[in-house]
Each structure stands twice: as structure tokens, then as C-alpha cells.
Amino acid sequence: MSDITELGVAELRDGIRTGKFSAREVADAFIVKVSQGKALNAFIVETPEHALAAAKAADEAIAKGEPLKPLSGVPLGMKDLFATKGVQTTAASHMLEGFKPVYESTVSQKLWDAGAGMLGKLNLDQFAMGSSNETSYFGNVISPWRRGGGDNAPLAPGGSSGGSSSAISARLVPGATGTDTGGSIRQPAAFTGIAGIKPTYGRCSRYGIVAFASSLDQAGPMARDVKDCAILLENMAGFDPKDSTSLNLPVPNWEEALSGDLTGKKIGIPAEYLIDGTPTEIAKLWEAGIAWVKDAGAEVIEVSLPHTKYALPTYYIIAPAEASSNLARYDGVRYGLRELPNDAEISRLLAASAASSSSGKPTKTALDLMYEATRAAGFGPEVQRRILIGTYVLSAGFYDAYFTKAQKVRTLIAQDFENAFSVCDLLLTPTAPSSAFALGEKSADPLAMYLNDVFTVPASLAGLPAMSVPAGLDAGGLPLGLQIIGRPLDEQGVLNAGLAIEQRAGFAARPEQWW
């Protein structure tokens, strides 16, 4: 074996099983890659000892002739939004810098129970809020991809799971976990030429995932291809009593049932996803995708999702509202950062509070000042912006006009999908309205950044399974993805259509190593 790190999850699993190489060799090879990939800033913490321990367990089981687990000896990256016992878990924030959970998230525990090892905790947008990985307290993640023609401007790996996408695309890890609230698995997958699936809301437990917007947050796998995603998802999903919205359903054997034959399937093309300003190469790729699924046996029909244009503004009420509520827990008391103004500053602030109150007495206490200082120092600008929007739309007098209204439009968006799925089985769309942009290109304008999630947010609002598969390159040589959206619980249909596209797209491009 020339280079083990060229292999994906399935090949590593099978190679260890058949004795082609040892789990130790696999772990060693990826640990070296991780250590050489620092220029990408994909990791916040590296955990070679964890990967080596899993490898040792796999090799010992083989030596003793014991049965292997589904992922024995396969090393993975873990998005730093999943609580890992005894290993720093930060959500890429200053607030949680140094936080070492005393418990393990359900999804990561399932992967360890399946025999996988951890190469490290992957960088992300702070509290998963962002589409470019520029909001991390621990610095931007850099995409391994570069535009052609000698343009070396660092590109965004997408967000929020940008550490995951960058590390997989650069072959530092064969697969990784991601989380998706409005597109945080699919958009980074599209930007870096890899695959990623967000399962149906409730498939993967949210227990131990740092909460952003609880009615939207879902974990899912990211990997080089569709089959690897199926394998990882099987080992991440499943009922968990610790998550009140976890679905009590058996986990299907997605890998075993994988088939690129779409005979008998009807695939809908939503007209509303052809938006003004979509680059022609994305429209062309979409056309190619339609031809590929037809070639795989599917019938293609036009469908309408009339409320599509309202999905983003709906999302930017609901997600910040839930975030402002969820992030209230960071109070500087129980865990995380505490900032306390000094005595002179406290006296000054209390006097200012008294001066502006009608009673002449301070309306705040030193405890309030501690909360305020902690949260000002612990949250980055984008997180503060979203908390403020969320607090505003939930505040007295505005709740119905914003939050209730958004939840009503959300119902209409979900109904659009229901109607579409009464005449078709799956939907095919582009994943993102552009290829990867340069770092700094959109960071000054929050709205321009938000618009990047235009194609991914609707499925999130409806809780539907959706995946991105790499399908082609733009004129600058950067990857583009196609998205497949399925009915609730039809991950199999989504994966199968993904496979059909993957088989026909023949996507083999990869970034040239510069790091």
C-alpha cells in the first residue's frame, strides 16, 4: 500500500479487516497528515492518542480472532461542537476555551462504540454560526482548494463545518462529523468537493452537541463519497432517550441497500431554485444532474415550492431566536469564561445605572455586570449579532410579529415540500449559489453571507434529509455540488440518488497540495 491516506472509510475498514494493513498503520499515516496540515487550521485540538488507542483495540481484536466492530480502527475527525469527555470542547468560542466536558455526546460515543478513533477536534464557525469559517475564535479555516491561474487567495472551506470539509478534502481525515442547522454540512461539502448528508431531524441525537437552534440542529457525516457517508451515518444515528426529539425508530442498513438504480423514481426539479444571479455554470451543472438521474432510470418532473424565497428570512428569525434562548446558559457561573470588571469599574457602572434609573437606585447588581462582561468578552461579533436579533424578535410586543409569523411561514414551507412529495420522490437542486469565495470577500456584509444558504435552508426548516454530492468544477477549477432532498426518513432514497449522480459525474478533481 503506497499511501493509506488515499483511502476512504469503507476501504480502510475493509483493509484492516482483511489484514491488508494494520489499524496502527492507518492511525500513524493519518496522524502524520494531520501534523503536516497545520496551514489549513482545520483542527483546534489534535488527539493522536485517541486514534492510537482505537487502533490498538482493533489490532488486538484481530490478533485474538475476536469479531471486529463496524468501524474498527477507522480514524475520524470530530467537529468541535460535540462534547468529548476530557477533551477540550469549545464550539470555536472564547466562551468555552478550556472547557473539558465530563460527559460524551451520544453521536461521538456511538462512533467510539463502533470502534472508530478520533484524530482531533475540528474547527468551525463560532457556535456553528457562519457560512465561511471566519467567525471561529481560533482563526479561519483555509480551504485546500485554490483558484486556477496562480491566484493564491485563501478560499473559504464553507461553514459552519469548515474544519471537517477542509480536513477531508485535504485527506487529513477519511471522514468527519458535521452538524447542519441551515446548511452547515451541505454547503461546506459543496465548496470542497466532498459528500455530506444531513439526515431527517431526530435521526441523530442532539445530546452533547453544543446547541445553536434546537428545532433545526442535526448531526450528520461528511466524507469523500456517498458510500462512506452511508456507513458513518449508520453508526451515528439511532434513538436516544437523552434527546426529547430523538426518533424512536430502527436505523436502516443504508450501506447494504445502496443502489444507483433509480428506476421507478420520480425526481422533482423546483422551478423556484433557479434564482436571479445564479452563475450559468451552476445552472448547467444542474442540467447535467437532471441528465444523470434520467440515465439512472428516474423520471424527471417540474415541481413548485412557492414559498422558497421566504425560507431565508424565516430562518433568520427562528435560528437567532432559538440561539438567544439556548446561549442564555453562558452566564459565567457554571462553566466557561467568567469576566468580572474590577471594583472601580463596578462602582462606576453601578453609579451610571443609578443615574439613569427613575428611582435613583442602580437597576443592576455586580452579578448583572459579571454576566454582561462575560458575554461581551466570550461571544464573537456574529454570535452577539444573532443573539441581539433573537432577543429583539422574542421581546415583548414583537414576538407575534416576528417569531409567530416566522413559524407560520415555516408551516407553509413544509407544506410546499409535502405537496411536491405527493407527485415526486426526491428533489434535485444545486447545493449553493456559488463556488467557494475568498476569505474576507463576504465577511463585511452579514446579509450577503446569509444568502449563501438560500438552497440549503428550506430543507432544514422542514426537517428533511438532504445531501450534497460533488458534481463538477466551475471555470476557476473549484468544486460545485448538487443537492438531493428527500421525504422524511427517506435517507435511503437520498443516498441512492446521490450515488447515481456520483457514478455519472466522475468527480475526481482534488486540490493540489500546497500546505
Catalytic residue numbers read 79, 160, 184
Report d(CA 429, CA 285) in Å as an integer: 10
Over the range 454-469, which residues count as b (16 or more CB within 10 Å of their CB) and which as e?
bbbbbbbbbbbbbbbb
Task: Verify binding: residue 245, other proteins, rule CB under 8 A.
Answer: yes
Contact region for other proteins (CB under 8 A) — 17-25, 28-36, 166-174, 380-388? 380-388
Partners of 220 in the beta sheet? 178
3-state helix, strand, coil in the chain (%, to 5): 40, 15, 45
Partners of 186 in the beta sheet? none
Specify the residue, 112 or 402, whose C-beta has the smaller distance to other proteins: 402
Q: Is the peptide bond before 160 cis (omega within 30 degrees of 0)?
A: yes
Whether the CB-CB separation of 125 and 159 falls below 8 Å is answered with yes
Identify residues 425-484 at the interface with other proteins (CB under 8 A).
446-447, 461-463
Specify the residue, 38 or 309, whose C-beta has the smaller distance to other proteins: 309
Task: Verify binding: residue 408, other proteins, rule CB under 8 A.
Answer: yes
Contact region for other proteins (CB under 8 A) — 49-57, 138-146, 404-412, 497-505? 404-412
Residue among 154, 252, 279, 313 that touches other proteins (CB under 8 A): 313
Q: Which of 164, 216, 219 is nearest to 192 (CA)?
A: 164
Specify the residue, 464 or 497, whose C-beta has the smaller distance to other proteins: 464
Q: Which of 251, 81, 246, 87 is nearest to 178 (CA)?
A: 81
Grid cell for residue 359: 428611582
Specify the residue, 38 or 408, whose C-beta has the smaller distance to other proteins: 408
The helix (H) or strand (E) run that includes residue 491 is: helix 491-505
Partners of 121 in the beta sheet? 45, 78
Residue among 6, 60, 100, 153 that touches other proteins (CB under 8 A): 100
Convert residues 203-232 into a mask of x (bound to other proteins by CB under 8 A) and - (unbound). Answer: ------------x-----------------
Specify the residue, 105 or 169, whose C-beta has the smaller distance to other proteins: 105
Residue among 102, 344, 355, 508 that touches other proteins (CB under 8 A): 102
Whether the CB-CB separation of 463 and 413 falls below 8 Å is answered with no
Convert residues 359-378 into a mask of x (bound to other proteins by CB under 8 A) and - (unbound). Answer: ------xxxxxxxxx-xx--
* Least distance between other proteins and beta carbon 322 (Å): 12
- How many C-beta neighbours within 10 Å does residue 514 have? 12
Task: Verify binding: residue 352, other proteins, rule CB under 8 A.
Answer: no
Q: Which of 168, 163, 67, 46 is nearest to 115 (CA)?
A: 67
Task: Verify binding: residue 335, other proteins, rule CB under 8 A.
Answer: yes
Report d(CA 184, CA 141) in Å as an integer: 14
For residue 217, is it left (φ>0), alpha (ψ between -120 and 50) or beta? beta
Task: Verify binding: residue 182, other proteins, rule CB under 8 A.
Answer: no
* Least distance between other proteins and beta carbon 125 (Å): 17
Report d(CA 321, CA 244) in Å as an integer: 20
Residue among 338, 354, 433, 510 that touches other proteins (CB under 8 A): 338
Q: How many alpha carbons lie under 13 Å from residue 396 in its C-beta half-sphere?
A: 0
Task: Verify binding: residue 407, other proteins, rule CB under 8 A.
Answer: yes
Residue among 389, 469, 480, 484 that touches other proteins (CB under 8 A): 389
Residue among 283, 333, 351, 352 that touches other proteins (CB under 8 A): 333
Contact region for other proteins (CB under 8 A) — 7-15, 117-125, 177-185, 314-322? 314-322
Residue 54's contacts (CB-CB under 8 Å, 6 or more residues apart) are 23, 27, 72, 73, 75, 112, 115, 116, 117, 118
Convert residues 105-134 into a mask of x (bound to other proteins by CB under 8 A) and - (unbound). Answer: ------------------------------
Task: Verify binding: residue 310, other proteins, rule CB under 8 A.
Answer: yes
Interface residue list for other proteins (CB under 8 A): 99-102, 200-202, 215, 241, 244-245, 247-248, 307, 309-310, 313-314, 316-317, 324, 328, 331-338, 340, 365-373, 375-376, 379, 384-385, 387-389, 391-392, 395, 402, 404-412, 414, 446-447, 461-463, 488
